[in-house]
Structure 1
C-alpha cells in the first residue's frame, strides 16, 4: 500500500515539472516575439530638378585641315644661270621683293643693244622724214624707215620683258617656306624656285553633309578649335559655300577664314569648326546623365507624391551635357537627377 502511494506521488511531481517548463518556454517565446522590429519600408534618397522652359543650340562640328591664305610656288620664267639668291627659309618677304636673279647680266646686255638700236632707228627716221619733205627721198623709203623704227621699238620691249623675267619676285607678302635653287645652278623655264606662304590668315575647308548645308551662308561666324590647342577657340567666318556637291562624298565644301595675327596656327594642322544650325527656345531639356538606356529604351524618372515614376522619353538635339526631350516629360515635373539608377517605377523616394 505504501508502495502504491509513493508511485502516485512521483507521477504527480513529474507532471508538475513538465507543466512548469512549458509555461516558462511560452513566456520567453512571447517576450522574444514582442521585441522583433517590423520590416522597414524601402525608400531611396534622390535629388530632383524641376523642369522649366529652356533654350538649346543645335550645332554641328566638322573636321578640316588648315591651309595658308596664300601658298605661292615661284617658277623660273626663262632658262639660265642663277646669279643671285636673296632669301633663305624662314625669311619674311614683301610683295614685289626680289627673290632670285637669273642670267641677268646677259639679259641686261641684250636690253642695252635693243635700246641702242632703237635710238639709231629713231634718228634715221627723223633724217629721212626731212629728206622726204625736200623731195629727195621716195615715199617707199620713208615707209621702210618707219617700219624699222617700229620693229626696233618692239625688240626693245621684248628685251625689257626678258630682263624682267630674269628677276623672280614674290607676288605676295609672306614667309619663305622653301628655296629650291643655289647660286651658280642652271635652271630651265618652269623649274621651281621657291615657295612663299602667307599665314596672316588661315583658310579651313570642311565638307558639310547635304542635310546641313541649308543652315550655312557666307559671312556666318563659326567657332574653330585646333587639336594642337585643345583649350582655346578662334572666331572664324564662312567665306565660301559650294553650290555643287562633291560627286564622290555627296558633301559640300565650305571655306572658313581665321585670323592668325600671332602666327600660332600653321598650315596642315587639324581644325574643328562648329556651325549653328538653329536655336531652339521654350523646350524641355535635361542632363544627359539623367536618361538611362534600358535595352534600347530611353528611361527617365520623375518624382510624384514621394514615388518614382518611370517615363519613356524621346531625345532630340544634344547640346553639351544637356539633351532636348521631344516626348515623355513636361515642364513643371520633378526630374530625378541623383539616385535614378537605384529606383524603379513605383518605388518610394526621399527628396533631399
Structure 2
C-alpha cells in the first residue's frame, strides 16, 4: 500500500464506508481466487469473499497496521475458509470415486456429491503486489488448474492453507506462521507433508506445476475443429481429435469414460436421434476456465424453440489431441462466464 493508503485506512477505521469499499475492491479478485483454491467451489468462493469483507468491516478497529491491509484481509479470508472446511468432505471429480464407466449402460442419476467447480478466467486476476508484499516474487507461479485443485483436496485444511500461502503465493514461513497463529517449525512441517501428498495425487507429468500460459494457436485450432465437429454431429471428426487414452467426465453425473473407443460409444448413443438417450443438437461458444481452453455448450432438442445452456467443458490438449475433457453440467455457472442462458434456434 502506498503512503496515501494510510489516509484511506484511517478514514475507513473512522467509519467511512466508501473508503472501506475502495480498499476491499482492490483485493476482491485475488481473494476470490484464494478462496476458490482453498474450497474448490466457485459459488462458495463468492460467498467467502463477502464473508471476509463483512468480518473485516466488523473488526476494522482491530487492524493496527502491523501488517499490510492486504495481508490482514488474507488472514481473515483464510480463517473463514478454514471454518467452512472444518469436518467437510473433499470436493471431487467422477474419476476420483470409481472405475471408468461402461458406455453401454444407461446414464446414472445425478448425485449430491460435493463436486469441484470451474473458475472463469475473466475473473482470474494474478496478484501484482509491490516489492514490499510477501508474494511479489511468486506471481508467475499462480495456478488454478483442475489437476492442482483435485490434488489439493486431499490435504487437511491447515496443510492446504500452508501449501497455498507458501508454494503458490510465495509467502515466507514467518509470515505464514503469523497468519495461521502457529510456529515457523509447524508451518515448515505442514508444508513438507503437504508436498508429499501432492506428489502422490498430481498426474505424473505435473509433479511440478508450471506457470500457466495462454493457449497456443495449435490448441485453439484443435478447439475450433472440435466445436465444428460437435455442431455437425460428426463422430468421425471428433474421434480424430481425441487422444487414444482420452478421459471425459460430466459432473454431477458420476460416470466417466476412459479411452477413445469408450468415449465414442457414449457419444454415438447420445447423438443418435433414434436413441432414447438422444440429447439434441449442439451449439458451442468458446470461453476460458481454469487457465485452459473451454467451451460453453448449448443444446436444443427437436421440440424446443431455442438452444439452452447445458455445460461448461474444460479441455486439456497435448500434441494436437484432446487428452481430457471435464464438462460441468451446471447451467447455473453460465452467468459467471457472462454467457446467456439460451440462444435462438437460428443461432449459428
> Where on the TM-score scale, by shorter chain, does this alignment land: which range?
under 0.3
* Higher share in strand: 1
Q: TM-score, normalised by structure 2?
A: 0.19
Structure number with the bigger relative contact order (C-alpha 8 A, sep ≥ 6) is: 1
From the CA coordinates, give the structure whose radius of gyration is larger.
Answer: 1
